[in-house]
């Protein structure tokens, strides 16, 4: 008799089931088991042994799903690494790693159906039979080239590729024809070409693809990336906005596919990358798979199952959970906008960072990694400084593009001089007026998260910080005090500024809705729209707003950080950052870094096409170092200064942060458990332990929440730290009256 350890999608260790002789089951297989009295689950066979476990009653594995194992050995290693590193169970990894369709559960066996998946296809084109001789084509050309030059041009292109493939009547892959999709569709409708779908063929050389020609600087960067990869190093591509990082990615993707290997390209958010995805799908037709949470459950499930039987040469583009998709010959992982906080799953277990996971995964698969950003994270930059990563800079925009001019506009001075209307300095309004007069567009950025209620002096711009943790204090309604979210330090709210002693301290914050209202009043003729979490609840709503702005049916776009990323709007010549102060005042040790990244990204939206753009930053702290670094676009100076600050306060990358999240419905029980846990942790980590404090979200879904933060110095072993944390959690679980408290762990907490 054999016994199988099966991972189930539950926060539990694997369970043992018996394996009947007749059932051919391998490690990695998805199997159906009964768990509880009337529930059937899909589990993954983790290991098989012939040793009978000691407990008496074993349930059998009922059935195997799918003809091939669902989980490869490499994925098994990944799940194990993740459970170990992020301190969670394999079942919790399984919950996020497998789409629901691939791990069906049901109340009866009959409901559990397998699916058959169609292979991917790509389009082929062929000239209509009336055009399949050189003579006919030439005649058509002579007759129509004056009136329809583009049409003739495309037909000639198809003809040229067809001849290269044998004869004018050959079928030609669509990917080799450089023409817009609507144009191809029109030719088909006119009966000049026919179109058919065929199973995707492997790419054998990069000649099989139509790739952009790289500029000299881009070509050099590509060579440096090759060199880094030959050296088995991660390549950090630091390219300013508009430098054409995408073009470099496209070349790397093509080379990897041509070698028969798979590529994963991670993006922070799918909706904002629709332009990128269209581009990739056009070049890598039939080989591009997108993956994100807005796809239907069916699509996601089918994608997973299809990839689990693929033989390589796939390009998978998607958000963080893409790293869980099966690949068989992974050659390259690209993490675009690698600094983006979205790569970290913070709201549920496993609280993994997809960028860091990508680096681990590439290493264990012998694959290459490119981390790309205009404003790299300090973690990655430090790895570049120490030589662990290869650092590749692209410091100029592609083609004629120049970086925008940055104007720092002092709000306090503007108020004093009466040069302010509503929330706008006249300086900004003048630029907006000029842009609108030239028929250009403007973007106004206001960070919604700036609503986190902080207190600021309206005379000098000062806002109080925690003396121990160097983060802004947040005003709490309940206690009417200003509190530190890290260590719990608090002080009374004052009306007198501790810095300039004026009685002018007040609560700050205004939102995008207000901005739209005010700007519409100032420019009644302008067409104004808002892009934020409220107006883009669905993908279609989001796309409508974006495409109206692209088509220049909108003049001014007001938005939150959603507008900062990736967009390539052609007509924008003025960008306004309405209140940089609330970026600088986020209660977060990364506030400065994030503020710099956000402002640089917003600035990157201006003047992307030849006309030099302007960015106006409104702030009460024009001398703030971060504002100065943005104004001079000096990433390096920002990074070095900020790293120094991190070193002084022992923050990442000089330490690792682990956050423990405790929750329970009873306040008193939670409080006792949190203090007890902190006490046990202090015995192991001494003064590296901060808290417990009430969470920013004190109560969520009927549960009270508390947090404890642990700083583990770089010099100390992280695996030992993890052991300590595991043993503390186990110890708490043994104490009778507090063991009901639920403890989640967030390793490398943001
Ligand atoms: P980044 O991602 O670095 O911000 P993009 O890749 O979006 O930059 O490039 C910015 C713009 O420049 C895009 O419109 C892109 O099409 C154009 N571009 C960049 N490099 C090239 C190239 N080698 N050939 C043609 N167009 C390019
Ligand atoms: Zn503090």
Report the alpha-carbon distance of residue 557 to residue 534 in Å, rounded: 14
Position with higher pLDDT, 656 vs 296: 656
Ligand 1 neighbourhood includes 219 CB (under 6 angstroms): no
151-164 pLDDT tens trace: 888 998 999 999 99
Residue to mutate, 242, 265, 268, 335, ligand 1, most ligand atoms under 8 Å from C-beta: 242
Residue bearing the CA closest to ligand 1, atom 19: 244
**pLDDT value at position 56?**
66
The residue whose C-alpha atom lies closest to atom 5 belonging to ligand 1 is: 244
Whether the Cβ atoms of residue 507 and residue 495 lie closer than 8 Å to each other = no
Q: What spacing in Å lies between the alpha carbon of 400 and ligand 1's midpoint?
A: 11
**CB distance 244 to ligand 1 below 6 Å:** yes
Whether 212 lines ligand 1, by a CB cut-off of 6 Å, is yes
Give 302's Cβ-side CA count (13 Å radius): 13
Ramachandran angles phi, psi of 454, nearest 5°: -110, 165
Give the number of whichever ligand sits closest to the CA of residue 403. 1
Predicted confidence band of residue 129 (pLDDT cuts 50, 70, 90): confident
- Smallest-distance ligand from the CA of 465: 2
Residue 199: helix, strand or coil by DSSP? strand
Taking the CA of residue 394 as reference, the ligand 1 atom at the shortest distance is 3
Collect all residues with Cβ–Cβ distance below 8 Å to 630 and sequence separation of at least 6: 406, 596, 599, 600, 603, 617
Confidence of residue 630 (pLDDT cuts 50, 70, 90): very high
Nearest residue (by CA) to ligand 1, atom 17, is 244
CB-count exposure of residue 18 (10 Å: 0-12, 13-18, 19+): middle
Average per-residue pLDDT for the chain: 88
Give the per-residue pLDDT at 448. Answer: 61
pLDDT at residue 450, rounded to an integer: 41
Q: Respond yes or no on whether the N-terminal peptide bond of residue 229 is cis (omega within 30° of 0).
A: no
Q: Where are the beta strands (DSSP E) in 398-548?
A: 405-410, 420-421, 424-425, 441-445, 455-457, 474-475, 481-483, 490-492, 505-507, 528-531
* Residue 141 CB neighbours (<10 A): 17
pLDDT at 662 over 90: yes
Considering the chain, what percentage of its residues have pLDDT values greater than 90? 51
**Residue 35: its pLDDT value, please?**
82
* Mean pLDDT, residues 240-245: 89
Q: Whose CA is nearest to atom 21 of ligand 1?
A: 244
Q: Residue 451 pLDDT more than 50?
A: no
Q: Over range 59-63, report the average pLDDT.
A: 90
State the burial class of residue 118 (Cβ atoms within 10 Å of its Cβ: 0-12, 13-18, 19+): exposed
Q: Which of 150-154, 668-672, 744-748 has the lowest mean pLDDT?
A: 150-154
Two tokens at 216?
């000299």
Give the distance (Å) from ligand 2 centre to CA of residue 489. Answer: 5
CA of 398 from ligand 1 middle (Å) equals 6
CB of 373 closer than 6 angstroms to any ligand 1 atom: no
- Decide: 566 in ligand 1 pocket, CB within 6 A: no
Whole-number Å distance between alpha carbons of 435 and 87? 53
What is the average per-residue pLDDT within 181-188? 88
Beta strands across the sheet bearing 490-492? 474-475, 481-483, 490-492
* Residue bearing the bigger pLDDT, 170 or 114: 170
pLDDT at 112: 56
Cβ–ligand 1 distance for 568 under 6 Å, the answer yes
**In the predicted model, is pLDDT for residue 646 greater than 90?**
yes
Is the CB of 242 inside a 6 Å radius of any atom of ligand 1?
A: yes
Mind spelling out the 3-state secondary structure of 646-672?
HHHHCCCCCEEEEEEEEEECCHHHHHH
- Per residue in 698-741, pLDDT (tens digit) is 666 678 889 999 999 887 888 899 999 999 999 999 998 888 89
Q: What ranges make up the beta strands (E) of 510-607?
A: 528-531, 556-559, 572-577
Distance between alpha carbon 381 and the CA centroid of its chain, in Å?
A: 18
Rounded to whole angstroms, the Cα distance separating 21 from 116 reads 27
- pLDDT bin (cut points 50, 70, 90) of residue 675 is very high
Tokens of 675: 């203090």
Using left for φ > 0, alpha for ψ between -120 and 50, and beta otherwise, residue 66 falls in: left
- Predicted confidence band at 7 (pLDDT cuts at 50, 70, 90)? very high
Whether 398 is in the pocket of ligand 1, judged by its Cβ within 6 Å, is yes
**Res. 452: pLDDT tops 60:** no
DSSP-assigned letters across all residues of 283-313: HTTTTEEEE-TTS-HHHHHHHHHHHHT--S-
Atom of ligand 1 nearest to the CA of 241: 4
Q: b/e per residue, 720-750, with b = 16+ CB within 10 A?
A: ebbebbeebbeebeeeeebeebebbbbbbbb
Question: Does residue 215's CB lie within 6 angstroms of at least one atom of ligand 1?
Answer: yes
The confidence score (pLDDT) of residue 44 equals 95
Which residue's C-alpha comes closest to atom 25 of ligand 1? 212
CA of 47 to the centre of ligand 2 (A): 46
Assess contact for 558 and 446: CB atoms under 8 A: yes
pLDDT at 567 > cutoff 80: no
């Amino acid at each position: 008799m054999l016994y199988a350890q099966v991972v189930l999608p539950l926060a539990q260790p694997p369970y043992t089931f018996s394996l009947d002789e007749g059932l051919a089951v391998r490690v990695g297989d998805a199997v159906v088991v009964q768990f509880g009295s009337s529930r059937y689950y899909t589990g993954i066979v983790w290991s098989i042994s012939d040793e009978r476990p000691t407990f008496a009653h074993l349930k059998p594995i009922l059935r195997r799903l799918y003809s091939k194992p669902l989980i490869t050995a490499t994925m098994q290693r990944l799940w194990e690494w993740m459970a170990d590193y992020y301190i969670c169970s394999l079942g919790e990894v399984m919950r996020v790693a497998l789409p629901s369709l691939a791990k069906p559960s049901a109340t009866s066996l009959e409901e559990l159906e397998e699916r058959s998946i169609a292979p991917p296809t790509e389009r082929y084109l062929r000239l209509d039979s009336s055009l399949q001789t050189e003579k006919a084509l030439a005649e058509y050309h002579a007759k129509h080239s004056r009136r329809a030059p583009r049409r003739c041009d495309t037909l000639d292109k198809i003809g040229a590729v067809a001849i290269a493939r044998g004869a004018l009547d050959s079928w030609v892959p669509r990917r080799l024809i450089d023409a817009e999709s609507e144009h191809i569709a029109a030719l088909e409708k006119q009966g000049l070409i026919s179109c058919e779908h065929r199973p995707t063929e492997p790419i054998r050389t990069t000649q099989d693809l139509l790739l952009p020609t790289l500029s000299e600087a881009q070509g050099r960067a590509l060579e440096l990336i090759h060199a880094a990869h030959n050296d088995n190093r991660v390549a950090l591509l630091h390219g300013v906005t508009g430098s054409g990082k995408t073009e470099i990615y496209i070349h790397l993707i093509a080379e990897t596919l041509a070698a028969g290997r798979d590529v994963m390209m991670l993006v922070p958010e799918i909706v904002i990358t629709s332009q990128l995805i269209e581009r990739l799908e056009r070049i890598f037709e039939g080989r591009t798979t997108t993956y994100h949470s807005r796809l239907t459950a069916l699509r996601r499930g089918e994608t997973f199952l299809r990839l689990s039987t693929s033989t390589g040469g796939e390009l998978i583009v998607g958000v963080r959970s893409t790293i869980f998709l099966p690949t068989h010959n992974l050659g390259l992982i690209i993490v675009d906008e690698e600094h983006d906080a979205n790569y970290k799953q913070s709201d549920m277990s496993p609280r993994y960072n997809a960028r860091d996971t990508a680096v681990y995964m590439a290493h264990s698969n012998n694959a290459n990694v490119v981390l790309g950003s205009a404003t790299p994270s300090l973690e990655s930059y430090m790895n570049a400084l120490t030589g662990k990563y290869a650092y590749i800079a692209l410091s100029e925009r592609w083609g004629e593009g120049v970086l925008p001019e940055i104007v720092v506009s002092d709000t306090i001075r503007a108020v004093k001089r009466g040069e302010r209307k509503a929330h706008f300095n006249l300086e900004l309004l003048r630029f907006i007026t000029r842009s609108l007069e030239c028929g250009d567009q403007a973007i106004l950025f206001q960070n919604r998260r700036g609503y986190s209620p902080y207190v600021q002096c309206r005379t000098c711009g000062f806002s109080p910080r925690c003396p121990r943790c160097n983060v802004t204090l947040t005003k709490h309604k309940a206690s009417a005090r200003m509190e530190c979210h890290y260590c719990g330090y608090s002080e009374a709210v004052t009306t007198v500024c501790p810095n300039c002693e004026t009685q002018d301290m007040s609560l700050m914050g205004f939102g995008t809705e207000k901005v739209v209202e005010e700007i519409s009043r100032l420019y009644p003729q302008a067409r104004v729209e808002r892009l934020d979490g409220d107006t883009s609840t669905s993908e279609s709503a989001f796309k409508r707003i974006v495409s109206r702005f692209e088509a220049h049916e909108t003049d001014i776009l007001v938005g939150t950080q959603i507008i900062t990323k990736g967009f390539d709007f052609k007509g924008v010549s003025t960008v306004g950052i309405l209140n940089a102060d609330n970026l600088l005042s986020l209660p977060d040790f990364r506030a400065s870094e994030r503020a710099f990244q956000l402002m640089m990204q917003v600035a990157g939206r201006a003047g992307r096409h030849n006309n030099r753009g302007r960015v106006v930053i409104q702030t009460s702290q024009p001398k703030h170092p971060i504002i100065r670094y943005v104004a001079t676009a000096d990433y390096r100076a920002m990074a070095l200064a900020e790293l120094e600050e991190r070193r002084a306060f022992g923050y990442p990358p000089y330490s690792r942060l682990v956050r423990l999240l405790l929750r329970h419905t009873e306040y008193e029980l939670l409080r006792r458990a949190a203090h007890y846990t902190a006490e046990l942790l202090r015995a192991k980590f001494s003064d590296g332990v901060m808290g417990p404090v009430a969470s920013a979200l004190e109560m969520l879904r009927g549960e009270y929440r508390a947090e404890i933060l642990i700083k583990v110095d770089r010099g100390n072993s992280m695996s030992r730290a993890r052991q300590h944390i595991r043993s503390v959690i186990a110890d708490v679980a043994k104490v009778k009256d507090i063991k009901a408290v639920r403890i989640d762990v967030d390793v490398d907490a943001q």
